[in-house]
Amino acid sequence: MLLITGESGVGKTRLAFEALRAATGMTTLLGAAYEQEGQSPYQPFIEAFDRALAEQRRPLDENPITHFKRLGSGDLEQEHWALFNAVATFLSGLSQPAPVALLIDDLHAADEASLRLFHYLARQMRSAPVALLATYRLDAAADVTTPFGALLNALYRERLSETLTLTPLPEDVVARILAQALGGDVTPELAQAVFEITEGNPFFVKEIAHTLLKRGQVEEHAGVWRLKPDADVHVSSGLSGLLRERVKRLGPQVETALMAAAVLGREFSFDVLRRVAALPDGALLDALDAALAGYLLEETENHYRFHHALTRQALYSALSRVRRAHLHARAAEAIEAAYTLRPGGLTPHIEALAYHYDLSDRRDRALDYLIQAGEKAASVYAFEVAVSYFERALALMDALGLADTPRAVAYFEQALARAPRPHAPAQRRGDCAHYRRGYCRCRGTSARGAGRSGRARGHRRVCGRALQPGATTLA
């Protein structure tokens, strides 16, 4: 297994993609985790497997996670490990005709269940023709108390991984990147000025080159690019300021469209964006075309995607708190409008709805989605993720002034203490009762708080059965 790390913009993803491209004769799989977005448990793996199945013209119901065939044992932990084993078996099967390379981009942003699955595969695939690759941001490894920090420590302790740390580029390499971006050699003075500002970050170098051209601060003389005599290359606002300035230069409609897209996430659909951006379809399409031409966006098979996560982060952070909350509410409403009547309904988007409403000025509408997201995580045995969603629901109940929250919190503290730890062996059956008790308490409290007393009584009856001695399932 190879882990590629470094600071944002240093070229981790580009290097990993080039490695996959050079892996001739191998079956390559790619999945990515996205920061600050509502994702389903195991989303990077689901994405990678769905893409691989589609490329091989195989039915998507062969995905070992989304179409996991339960054992029917009634034991939550046994089913959980059976799901992990199904994933390992799936990868082993893919590797029979040719070796497999699986890349998880931005692993540090993955949910805790995905981290546990990654560790499991690292152990199980050691003797199989399956190569695991992952990228992660260097600063994410600093806190060893986080699930991701614990994973890195476990991989190192068990000697399961090699780590390649990418460092900033030296000045002579910065000069070569500038020459490529500007279309000719550059003077040592220009290379030095850009190197001092960017500290050798290649993404920053390219953005500086683009900015210098647009501002007219460089000129070509005898085939060599140089700074104009009166040019000031000082950048007071850093990379984020440069990225926002670049978007602003494309016009107000492009800025409006991309600000709305930044709220939706790193990847987004036109159908949802058109309901959020408040632009006519023709104007929105023109704005997206301009962003594509300016290499701010790229097209995926069905969606648009920010070319670099830093662009999305720069635009999102520039939004005021009030506007951000307003756009999150519009995003959630747009998802509901776009997908309610489609096959599958809102189920694939529950996590995104919980995420957007929880950050919106309509937080009351997040409660049911948070609970549904927890139930959905529990259905694929992602108990850490489920507990996290239920805790967020409890915190929201408290913020909304719903009754009985303190006792629900007490149950959840027990559930959290007993939830399966990352990288630990299967827990005792009795541990599942603590999880179930917290879940049921949350369900009953939310139903009563919303005035659904009949529904609350129903939940209590189900929970009573689930908590009987010997019960090992949620209901």
Is residue 454 very low, low, confident or very high in pLDDT (cuts 50, 70, 90)? very low
- Is the pLDDT at 185 greater than 70? The verdict is yes
- Is the pLDDT at 88 greater than 70? The verdict is yes
Task: Work out the angle at residue 212's Cα, subtended by the Cα atoms of residues 210 and 213, and round it to the nearest 5 degrees.
Answer: 65
Q: Does 214 or 234 have the greater pLDDT score?
A: 214
Residue with tokens 């399956």: 130
Lowest mean pLDDT among 146-150, 208-212, 373-377, 460-464: 460-464
| Confidence at residue 35, expressed as pLDDT on a 0 to 100 scale | 79
Residue 4 host element (H or E) = strand 2-6
Enumerate domains of the chain plus CATH numbers. Answer: 2-165 (3.40.50), 171-235 (no CATH), 239-319 (1.10.10.10), 341-466 (no CATH)
| Confidence at residue 344, expressed as pLDDT on a 0 to 100 scale | 87
**Residues 205, 174 contacting (CB under 8 angstroms):** yes
Average pLDDT for the chain: 84
| Confidence at residue 455, expressed as pLDDT on a 0 to 100 scale | 42
Report the C-alpha gap between 279 and 283 in whole angstroms.
6
**Residues 408, 445 contacting (CB under 8 angstroms):** yes
| Confidence at residue 208, expressed as pLDDT on a 0 to 100 scale | 87
| Confidence at residue 112, expressed as pLDDT on a 0 to 100 scale | 93
- In tens, the pLDDT along 4-14 reads 999 988 999 99
Overall size of the chain counted in residues: 475
| Confidence at residue 444, expressed as pLDDT on a 0 to 100 scale | 52
- Is the pLDDT at 237 greater than 70? The verdict is no
- Is the pLDDT at 471 greater than 70? The verdict is no
Longest dimension (CA), the chain: 86
| Confidence at residue 252, expressed as pLDDT on a 0 to 100 scale | 95
Q: Does 254 or 243 have the greater pLDDT score?
A: 254
Q: Does 347 or 461 have the greater pLDDT score?
A: 347
Give me 144's structure tokens.
């060893």
286 three-class SS: helix
327 three-class SS: helix
**Residues 278, 253 contacting (CB under 8 angstroms):** no
- In tens, the pLDDT along 394-445 reads 889 888 887 545 544 544 554 454 455 444 443 434 444 445 555 555 555 5
Q: Does 31 or 39 have the greater pLDDT score?
A: 31
- Average pLDDT over every residue of 143-159: 92
**Residues 42, 234 contacting (CB under 8 angstroms):** no
Residue 391: count other Cβ atoms within 10 Å of its Cβ. 20
- In tens, the pLDDT along 322-371 reads 999 999 999 999 999 999 999 889 999 999 999 999 999 999 999 999 98
| Confidence at residue 466, expressed as pLDDT on a 0 to 100 scale | 36
Is residue 474 very low, low, confident or very high in pLDDT (cuts 50, 70, 90)? very low
